[in-house]
Structure formats: structure tokens, C-alpha cells
Structure 1
């Protein structure tokens, strides 16, 4: 039985269009003011008060206008994508949620959030814990539960839905950059990532332009990822290709495939992830079956197991770095 190789980067764990963007753009700046009665002779206290109470109005991913602090100090993130993005902007939140499919923060961000309070699971905040964090800004990911959003807005009106169902990570990142008044830095980070991905793809030697299959193994079988899904996009930015069966536009995972269709997951390289223990068990079970063993990627020892809590998410700049490192290390070693 050929077992997938675990990527070195995973082992370390220690690393819409202009119109849509306009929906996240700044509408109003500096509309807050301080209490003039608090000024001392030099007006310094009044200036400090004005600075702390100054606000901006932005639109979130749903088009809702939200008044946010001009310089937010106490941010709570409700998804690992929100967390990834604020950390990439140099902002450490005061409250976070556990990672996708995890009962703890995502491993690739663990060293950056040491000591930060966990306020619930992914998109499942515990309201008492959110209150205790005293947020002045809540980044609510793709939260669609209006009752939960109502409760969050009672804690602070500065609660933003940061991503729509079809948004890619770069659009969401620009929206979050705008919300925390760091849009210029967000654009810089994206440019740096794109340059790094292109450079990395050009150094893959014999594997330059290889076809890479990107698959999550579910309890019901494998599901490959469409071209606009996060990890697929990183591979394409690196100049890699997708197998013919997987070269489809879209940002979703396909339904789980039966063994009769397992050839759809084949490629020059096969990157496999799971998210649950049931998925891990299903993958382990299939590795002894002839249909799996007959895949070219398996026969060529070109199967790499990667972290589903990174590869199967909607992504962010730091997760993009992990995916890029996983691909680079696997393909450069062959």
C-alpha cells in the first residue's frame, strides 16, 4: 500500500470586481467627534477623546452600511479567515473562534494567537464570552444567521459580515483591510503574494506546469475542488494546471465521488486533505483498494497529505503561504 507523504510545511505548522470592492469602500471618514467639555488648556484630552471616538462608515459584504471605529482596538473574529486576515495586517484580535473542524485555533496560526481568548467555535460565538472581550469591532465572516447577528450588534453595532458566498479571499481581505483602516497594506500584501506565487512556480524544475489534483476526502468519498476554490487558485497562480476532469470554473467542492469515478481525482500530483476523523478513516480504508492503487499519482508516489483546515477553507494571506509552501516543497523534492 502506498501511503501519502505528509508535506514538510504541514509538519511544521509554524508558518467583486471593482463594483464588489466598491461595496466595501469607505463612504464617510472622521465623522466622530470628542467631548469639547473635556479639553484641558492645551486641548490634549479633547484630542485624545476625539481620536478614540472618531468613526468611519463602511459597507460590509452584504451592502449594509456600518459605522466602525476609525482605529479599532478590540477586534473579535468569528472565522479563521477573518483571523488570518487581521493577523496578516499586523493586528492581534482580543477574541477568536476555533478553526474549521477543530476544537482549537488552527495550528498554522497558533503561535500568533497565544493568550487570545477563544469565544466559541467557527460562526458559533458564545455571547457571554464575546461580551467579556469588550469588542469595538466584530468581524463575522459569512454569518447568515440573522438572530446571531442581531445579538452581536447589540454587543457592538460595529459588526460586519466580511464575505459573501462567492467572494474569493482577496476581495474579503480588501474589505477587512478597509474596515480596520489598512486597505493600502492589504493591497500590498496581495501584490507580494502574487509575486511570490509566480516566482515559486517558476522554480519547480521538471514539475513546472504540472497537473495537480486537489481533493478533500469525505466520509462518503473524495471531492475535488473547482478552479476558483482557494487552494486551486494558489496552484493556478503558480502556473500549475488542473487535470482535465477538474478544469472547471467555480469555487466549490464537487459531491463525493464513488470508486467508479475515482479516476477524476488523478493527476501528476495528488494533494489530499481531510477535515474529520470519519474522513480520515474513509481515506485509510480506500488506500487498500485496487481502484486507488491504480491512480498514476499513487503509483508514482506523488500523493501528498495536507492540512484540510488550511486547504479546504476560503483562505487568507497566511493560509495562502502555507499552501504555496506545501506545493513548493513537494514538487521541488521530486
Structure 2
């Protein structure tokens, strides 16, 4: 048995001892791994999922630890100012269990894709809440947020946040419809403008699924989101496209995301090619650059408002505060 394994088991034993000394549990939640009892007022929350961090901050709870956003070493940029001193306990899909134990959490909020063997370890440290997986569906984040809100004892606050998002998306839908009447090149009156969400990577552009959080927000705001039949069922995105295949992502609008500097450099290079410039969406100036960490990795109430900010800025030409 390695020294690291012995140390980790010792830390887990201490964590279990600490958990047994906490006040009586107050609520029971239905989770992916069955009923979980949680403290009435958790004080040291660790989030192992970007949607959990977002939901926590949306209801006024600041976690002590979190994982980094996909493609980065810190939390996503849209949240960074709210948690400047938060401790990193891993990367997307790579939790550092020792770092979690060291923070002595009294609640862990995890991803619906958390492996059962990791849950078995984490649940020895603190009550661990894992949402049931709904696969790729555009509204799964809402049920996840409600579960996280319940785990934090903030059900009313999360319901209010979700209601605000629904109302804002409905209002923005009217602006999108008006913009379509003014700018559409082919669509008839009353038809929603079509768009693709594409994440540009060094190996080429990936068409994102229509079943994701951000494409769901585009739909709620009045767009018809298309994947051109390139995304297999249950997959988050297509295989990389060649420049010659770019006409498959042409349309009324194109929301174009990059995760990091490598992706941005690849996109800037592609912008100089004739294949990119020939797209009608480019000639009509309807390409909208967006933050890939927000649009293709994040989820939650704060992410939803930030995505709606981007949509509103694109459609109205106004920059939100």
C-alpha cells in the first residue's frame, strides 16, 4: 500500500469523525445515489461542478472550494470576481480528493456525471449531493439548480432566480423577432432566425449540440438552433469540421466560442481564409464571438443571465453594464 493511499485513508477517517460531531441533520434530498441527509445551514461548501458553483453564488452562498473550468486553471471568468480566493480542488473531471478533505467541507455538490466510486469516497467526507443525470437536455440545468438550492437551504432564492431568467428570455424573444424582420436574408415574417453555436478549437470548429444549456437559452430567446445533422445523439458536439465544410454552419446568425488562447489563435487564422469570408453570415456581420468557458462549459442561473446579456448585446447592439 502506497504512502499516499495510507495518508488519504487517514484523512478520510478524520473527516468521518468530524462529520459525526456535527449537529443533527435536518433535511433529506433525493439524489442520483439515493436519499442524502444534509445540514440545515451548511457553512463549508465544496463544489465539484461548474453548475453547482454558479447555483451556490446565485443564492448567496460562497463555497470554499471548486474545480477549474474546462480548458482553464481557475473558475470561469464570469464568476472569478465573486470568488477571488476560492481554493481549487481539481480540474473538470479530475477531482483532487486530498484537497477536498483538507478543506473539511460539511457539504459537497457534485456533477451528475460523478462516477459511483468517487461518490463512495466523497460521501465519507461530507454529505455529497449528485443530481440525477438527465443526459443532454437543454433544461437539465434547472432541475440541477433546484436540487443544489435545496441542499443549501435556499429553495425560494433559486426559484426566484429561475423565474427571473424565464421572464427575461421571453422579453428578449420579442427583440430577436424584431431584429429578424429587419435583417433576415431569406426567412419569412414570423419565422425564428436560425443559428449555430460553434466552439472553435485548434483542430477545427465543433458544432455544439442543440441539447445543451446555452443552445437552450438561445431557443428560449427566440432562435432556431441548428446542428446541421452533425452531432450524434447523446454527444455534446460534432467532430471537427474542415474549412471546406464551413457552409454547413451558415445561417442567419453564428455564435462563435473559444475556450482559450489556442482556440482564439486558430479562429483568427481561419478568419483570414476565403472559406470563412464567403459565408453569408460573415458578409452580413452576424457572427457573434462569445466566451467558450461560459457558453460551452458553464451552466446555472448566473451563467443564464450572462448568456442572455450576450444575446441582447448582439441583437440590440447595446452593451450591457
C-alpha change, 1:263 and 1:246, in structure 2 (3 Å) is: same
Q: Is the 8 A contact 1:123 1:140 kept in 2?
A: no
Matched residue SS, 2:71: coil
1:183 aligns with 2:155: yes
Query: What are the equivalent positions in structure 2 for 1:6-45 lying under 5 Å apart?
Result: none
Q: Which residue of 2 aligns with 1:161?
A: 130
Q: Which residue of 2 aligns with 1:81?
A: 51
Q: Which residue of 1 aligns with 2:316?
A: 332
Q: Is the 8 A contact 2:210 2:226 kept in 1?
A: no
Q: Is the 8 A contact 2:136 2:236 kept in 1?
A: no
Q: Which residue of 2 aligns with 1:211?
A: 194
1:55 aligns with 2:38: no
Matched residue SS, 2:46: strand
* Structure-2 separation of matches of 1:149 and 1:244: 34
Q: Structure 2 unaligned segments of length 5 or more: list them.
A: 1-20, 182-191
Q: Is the 8 A contact 1:243 1:267 kept in 2?
A: no
Q: For residue 210 of structure 1, report the CA deviation from its aligned partner.
A: 2.6
Q: Is the 8 A contact 1:207 1:332 kept in 2?
A: no
Could you list the structure 1 runs, at least 4 aligned residues long, displaced by more than 4 angstroms after superposition: 246-251
Q: For residue 293 of structure 1, report the CA deviation from its aligned partner.
A: 1.0
Q: 2:203 aligns with which of 220, 224, 242?
A: 220
Q: For residue 250 of structure 1, report the CA deviation from its aligned partner.
A: 6.6
Matched residue SS, 2:225: coil
Query: What are the equivalent positions in structure 2 for 1:80-159 lying under 5 Å apart?
Result: 80-156=50-126, 158-159=127-128
C-alpha change, 1:108 and 1:324, in structure 2 (3 Å) is: same
Q: For residue 256 of structure 1, report the CA deviation from its aligned partner.
A: 1.9
Q: For residue 251 of structure 1, report the CA deviation from its aligned partner.
A: 7.0
Q: Is the 8 A contact 2:141 2:300 kept in 1?
A: yes
Q: Is the 8 A contact 1:79 1:122 kept in 2?
A: yes
* Structure-1 separation of matches of 2:286 and 2:156: 40
* Structure-2 separation of matches of 1:86 and 1:250: 27
Query: What are the equivalent positions in structure 2 for 1:275-314 lying under 5 Å apart?
Result: 275-314=259-298
Q: For residue 324 of structure 1, report the CA deviation from its aligned partner.
A: 0.7
Normalising by structure 2, report the TM-score: 0.80
* Structure-1 separation of matches of 2:275 and 2:220: 31
* Structure-1 separation of matches of 2:230 and 2:194: 10
Q: Give CA-to-partner distance per residue, 1:100-146, whole Å, 9 cap, x none.
A: 21111211111211222222223423233212221111011134334
* Structure-2 separation of matches of 1:114 and 1:211: 38
Q: For residue 326 of structure 1, report the CA deviation from its aligned partner.
A: 0.6
Q: Which residue of 1 aligns with 2:143?
A: 171
| The 10-residue stretch of structure 1 (239-248 or 125-134) with the greater mean CA deviation from structure 2 | 239-248
Q: Give CA-to-partner distance per residue, 1:264-311, whole Å, 9 cap, x none.
A: 211222111122444333322322222111111111222121100000
Matched residue SS, 2:27: strand
C-alpha change, 1:231 and 1:57, in structure 2 (3 Å) is: same
Q: For residue 55 of structure 1, report the CA deviation from its aligned partner.
A: 2.7
Aligned length: 283
| The 10-residue stretch of structure 1 (249-258 or 272-281) with the greater mean CA deviation from structure 2 | 249-258
* Structure-2 separation of matches of 1:314 and 1:106: 8
Matched residue SS, 1:188: helix
Matched residue SS, 1:309: helix
